[in-house]
Amino acid sequence: MADQVRHIQIHAEYDGQRIDNFISRELRGVPRSLVYRLLRRGEVRVNGGRVKPARRLRTGDTLRLPPVRAGRGTTRAASERVLARLHDAILHEDGELLVIDKPSGMAVHGGSGLGYGVIEALRQMRPDCPFLDLVHRLDRDTSGCLVVAKRRSTLTRLHEALRRGEVGKRYQALLAGTMARPTLAVEARLERQTGRGGESVVRVSAAGKSARSVFHRLAAVPDWTLAEVELHTGRMHQIRAHAAHLGLPVAGDRRYGDPEANRRARHAGLRRLFLHAAALDLPGEGGARLRIRAPLPAELRAVLETMGMPIPHE
């Protein structure tokens, strides 16, 4: 919770950004309706004056933000242990971006009862970086490559590359069952819905958005397949929903998975979702490509060893 008025000097990286979007970033977890109410009431001011949501910020502007409760629960700082863990998880860093091997169990951002996420912890860890923002997202229980932009121009460029399909994303997943062929392509539209408990889920539906995943068999033992999954779109829970659609749910998936298969996976030592963002292929400036790999975590390798699954070379 922010318990006092904040005055923020706008850095050049945010020049031209709409004020409503900037506030939503600063007050992660606050509903957009509240952001617009604060603007309408004049509680948010720029250079001492009232502004409308479409106002574009300029370098050197002074933004006044009132005290606001940012979502359910209390926002808190990450511990030194968490910051050290994230520091050790950095896979690549340059002047444009930072790529980390996100740990399983850590959300990419706070809100909805979470005191902080990866992005808030990184901003805490790098107070000298005026701009840090997520290029994409990973599910909380998924580990692996996560890209954070250090410049607004980089964020815009990579978002455009994602839209054009110029970012290669490959995951490793343990599937419950046996793939009928070495490669299975899934093109099944996904629609976002509300589950029985009020949580967000996606279902295969003709009314959904287009989604394509390609599953490549890496290794197999009876009842289990280790697959590399190539994403051609980036829908929420895409791999998990497409795997379930194939009848080969991801091991450890409590939302889309098979309870009996999950029980057998726990017997083999699995304590999390077996889904790992293993590799990224990004377009860099000047036409160069940036290729990054995150090794399979030790706890997942141990599960494969227990199952007698051959482990592919990284």
**What's the confidence (pLDDT) of residue 29?**
65
Catalytic residue among 139, 141, 253, 258: 139
Classify residue 313: in a domain, yes or no.
no
Whether residue 2 has pLDDT greater than 80: no
pLDDT at 127: 86
CB 184 within 8 A of CB 246: yes
133 as an active site residue: the answer is no
Residues linked to residue 148 through DSSP beta bridges, in sequence order = 98, 134
> Does 182 share its domain with 278?
yes
Q: Give the span between the Cα atoms of 95 and 196, in whole angstroms.
A: 45
Q: Is residue 61 part of a domain?
A: yes
Statement: residue 170 has pLDDT above 70: yes
Average pLDDT over residues 159-164: 92
136, 159, 182 — which closes off a domain?
159
Quote the tokens at residue 208.
Answer: 């959904």
Q: Which residues of 55-69 are buried (b: 16+ CB within 10 A; e: fewer)?
A: bebeeebebbbeebe
302 is a domain residue: yes
Residue among 204, 189, 262, 251 nearest 225 (CA): 251
Q: Would you state the pLDDT for residue 73?
A: 44
List C-alpha distances in Å: 253 to 228, 265, 274: 17, 10, 8
| pTM (two decimals) | 0.81
pLDDT at 111: 61
Residues 95 and 174 occupy one common structural domain: no
| Confidence class for position 8, pLDDT limits 50, 70, 90 | confident
- Rounded CA-CA distance 312/314 in Å is 6
Do 179 and 297 lie in one domain? The reply is yes
Is the pLDDT score of 207 beyond 90? yes
Q: Which residues pair with 231 in a beta bridge?
A: 169, 213
pLDDT at res. 112: 55
Q: List the domain range (segments joined by +) for residue 93.
A: 80-159
Number of domains in the chain: 3
Q: What integer best gives the mean pLDDT of the chain?
A: 90
Answer yes or no: do 23 and 51 share one domain.
Answer: yes
pLDDT at 1 > cutoff 60:
no
109 versus 104: the higher-pLDDT residue is: 104
Query: For residues 144 and 135, is the Cβ–Cβ distance under 8 A?
Result: no
Least confident of 10-19, 79-88, 225-234: 10-19
Residue 202's CB is within 10 A of a number of other CB atoms, namely 24
For residue 74, being part of any structural domain is answered with no
Claim to verify: residue 173 and residue 280 sit in the same structural domain: yes
pLDDT for the residue 110:
72
Polymer length of the chain: 314
Report residue 143 as tokens. Answer: 């580990």
Confidence category of residue 74, pLDDT binned at 50, 70, 90: very low
Same structural domain for residues 30 and 86? Answer: no
- For residues 298 and 224, state if they share a domain: yes
CATH assignment of the domain containing 119: 3.30.2350.10
- Summarised one tens digit per residue, pLDDT across range 76-106 is 678 899 999 999 999 999 999 999 999 999 9
Percent of the chain with pLDDT over 70: 94
pLDDT digits (tens, 9 = 90+) for 262-299: 999 999 999 999 999 999 999 987 778 999 999 999 99
Q: What is the CATH number of the domain that holds 38?
A: 3.10.290.10
186 pLDDT band, cuts 50/70/90, is: very high
Count of CB atoms within 10 A of residue 266's CB? 13
**R_g over Cα of the chain:** 21
Question: Could you report the per-residue pLDDT of 18-73, keeping only the tens digit for each?
Answer: 998 888 878 766 778 888 899 999 999 999 999 999 999 998 899 999 887 655 44
